[in-house]
A and B are shown apart, each in its own frame.
Chain A
Amino acid sequence: MSAVESIEAAAVRAGSRNVLPAGRMLSTRFLRSELRLVFGRLRNQIALAVMALVPILIGIAVKVSSPSGNDGPQFFNQITQNGVFVSFATLTVALPVFIPLALSVVAGDGLAGEASAGTLRYLLLVPVGRTRLLAVKYAVIVAYAFALAVLVAGIGLITGLALFGGGDATTLSGTTISFGVAIWRLFLTCLYVTAMLAAVAALGLFVSTLVESAVVAMGVTAGTVIVAQVLDQIPQLHTIAPYLANHYWTNFGDLLREPIMTGGIVRGLLVTLAYVGIFGSLAWARFTSKDVSS
């Protein structure tokens, strides 16, 4: 039992466990554990893999039959001119539904999954403080959103370069930007998309504090996103559209103007921030006062 003795002796030498060593207040150990848990989950990996297929399919489809005329979703007509537009076109197509759906699975699972498995009570007993647990969960859901955006953009870029080549890109304003600048704009787009998805993440986490079934939390989150998308499409409801976070999602197109049009981008970020604040506060208020009895 020498191992036990040395460990206990070390614990004694370290003195009280109530006084944390300086470095451990800001330890990222639990955050890393949560990242491993979410990204190591087969289900979440499959979702990422499926999302990675979308730009490949779009690239091949456009290669096989190029779109003619000016109809079709934004950016599709530019794909044949420059491969980087595969990324933008895919984000335009996938952002309204597919990406939020994949994110809903992770966000809804956040606390409800732990609750239904019973691991939530053991995390609280460790003890992981409730506020800290919520913050770490939220950070990792947003990280998953970023991974979705970067993966779609990255695979799109590779597919586009392979099928259509790179070079200078024509902006929506008609001017030309260098390939390097285009890549930079693509990265900014990923950040904007992640910021937009942060509202879905907050909604999902809030729903996840309300129910003890992960599947219900996922369904409610995804359902809410879809309803919001429908509301945004109904012309008669155009007065409420500006208050919907998803109304601004595809504004990332403004990043492809020269110079960048910031108006819609900033409005999108502000409305999203408001939603994150509301759902984040609700989730915090609910979770920190909740009886955990599962």
Chain B
Amino acid sequence: MTLDLPAPGDLSVTSGSPETGTAKAAPAPAAGESPAPTVAPLAIETTGLTKRFRGGQVAVDHVNLRVPHGAVYGFLGPNGSGKTTTIRMLLGLISATEGSHELFGTPMTGRSWSLLSHVGALVEGPAAYGHLSGAANLARYDAGDRTADPVTAKARIDVALERVGLTAARGKKVRNYSLGMKQRLGIAAALLQPRRLLVLDEPTNGLDPQGTREVRTLVGSLADDGTTVLVSSHLLAEVEQMCTHVGVMHAGRLLKQGSLDEMRAGQQASVRITTPDPARAVEVLSRLGFGHVLRQGSEISAPYDGVAIVPEKVNAALVQAGVGVRALAVDQPTLEDMFVALTGEGFDVSG
């Protein structure tokens, strides 16, 4: 199984740079048409978006999401933190109890569902007609899209299947697909048309490591085309590798959002040393001015600001003191560290 992905820039003929790439989908203003999306600084903007379920449970609590154009926005949070409910509201599947939101700078109301033809989405797992083949499923969804050209339907379906590596299984009944194949089919459905925004809710669920890598590559190539991507996940490490921006949900609230660098700012890196002589290594580090040195077996670690002492100096000091160094590493702060710092909790299921 291969993913035949265009190299970045391969589509430059049609999509141009990310900045102008979004402009191609912007329609010529036409009188009397549905609200015409224009290029706006934000692809998604929500204002006080809130969902209170019957029974009073607040699933999403005044969320102000800001997803810039061209961003790959990692929408993070434990299971049950309100990510999917937020996405459902963004896509008009459920109504907001309070607040509003805009897609491409156009308010999304009951009447503006046509904005959705610019959005490809995978929400809460894939769904398909089990008795139909993969290709027939895509044809079914494409038939519903009045903006889709029926003449190019077959070619577009073939390309979408190829992009997710399902060409060989195109004629097989979806009932006989594995979960990973269904997930791929769902992504293929989102790719039937050129989109300005892709919303992928837990896209790597059910995929093996190879499939996960392929999704990451796919997201990267789409972002290179100028498509804005919103990826939700409860797996922090996975998202960290493909995102430019991150928003963190916890118990229905958006705790923090921003570019990856902004999010990491304020979080400290740490230096980690593996040595057969940890006791003396702790001494050396303390003498060098490191505080909060932790010792765990043969491994010691300490917060590292990266300015005062460069790593090679630490190594030299250790060697001079006769401490054998088996490994020395500087760990950048991870999103998980950040999440723990924000919530004071581990990244578990939200109550």
Contacts and interface: CB of A to CB of B under 8 A. Distances in A.
Say whether chain B's binding surface is mostly helix, strand, loop, or mixed: loop
A20 B144 contact: no
Which residue of A5, A30, A122, A126 has the most chain B CB atoms within 10 A of its CB atom? A126
Contacts of A27: 146, 150
Nearest to B89: A291
A33 B123 CA distance: 23
Contacts of A33: 139-140, 143-144
A8 B127 contact: no
A118 interface: yes
Contact of B156 (A7, A16, A122): A7
Contacts of A17: 25, 27, 117-118, 147, 193
Given A3-B158, A10-B149, A127-B114, A19 B33 contact: yes
A20 B101 CA distance: 25
Contact of A291 (B95, B113, B155, B189): B95
A123 interface: yes
Interface in B24-47: 24-28, 30, 33-34, 36-37
Nearest to A18: B27
A10 B153 CA distance: 12
B327 interface: no
Nearest to A292: B93
Contacts of B146: 20, 24-25, 27, 30
A122 B131 contact: no
A8 B11 contact: yes
B93 A18 contact: no
Interface string A1-18: 101110111111011111
B4 interface: yes
Which residue of A20, A24, A125 has the most chain B CB atoms within 10 A of its CB atom? A125
Contacts of B13: 5, 9
A266 interface: no
Contacts of A289: 95
B30 A19 contact: yes
Interface string B148-191: 01101001101100000000000000000000000000100100
Nearest to B189: A122
B114 A291 contact: no
B92 interface: yes
Contacts of A14: 149
Nearest to B121: A125
A124 interface: yes
B91 interface: yes
A292 B89 CA distance: 10
B25 A16 contact: yes
A1 B14 contact: no
Given A1-B4, A8-B15, A117-B130, A122 B141 contact: yes
Interface in A256-294: 288-289, 291-293
A122 B174 CA distance: 15
A180 interface: no
Contacts of B28: 15-16, 19
A117 B132 CA distance: 13
B143 A5 contact: no
Given A15-B27, A17-B25, A293 B92 contact: no
Interface in A16-75: 16-20, 24-25, 27, 29-30, 32-33, 37, 41-42
B125 interface: yes
B127 A117 contact: yes
Contact of A30 (B110, B118, B144, B156): B144
A118 B125 contact: yes
B220 interface: no
A42 B123 contact: no
Given A19-B27, A20-B147, A8 B14 contact: yes
A112 B164 CA distance: 30
Nearest to A128: B144
A291 B93 contact: yes
Nearest to A1: B6
Given A30-B144, A124-B93, A5 B131 contact: no
Nearest to A31: B143
Interface of B: 4, 6, 10-11, 13-15, 24-28, 30, 33-34, 36-37, 88, 91-95, 110, 113-114, 116-119, 121, 123-131, 139-141, 143-147, 149-150, 152, 155-156, 158-159, 186, 189, 193-194
8 contacts: A1-B6, A3-B158, A4-B159, A16-B25, A27-B146, A30-B144, A37-B129, A292-B93
Q: Which 6 A-B pairs have the closest CB atoms?
A: A16-B27, A118-B127, A33-B143, A291-B94, A127-B116, A128-B144
Given A25-B146, A122-B127, A126-B144, 16 more contacts: A3-B155, A5-B14, A8-B194, A9-B14, A11-B194, A18-B117, A19-B33, A24-B147, A29-B150, A37-B129, A117-B127, A119-B129, A124-B92, A125-B116, A288-B110, A291-B88
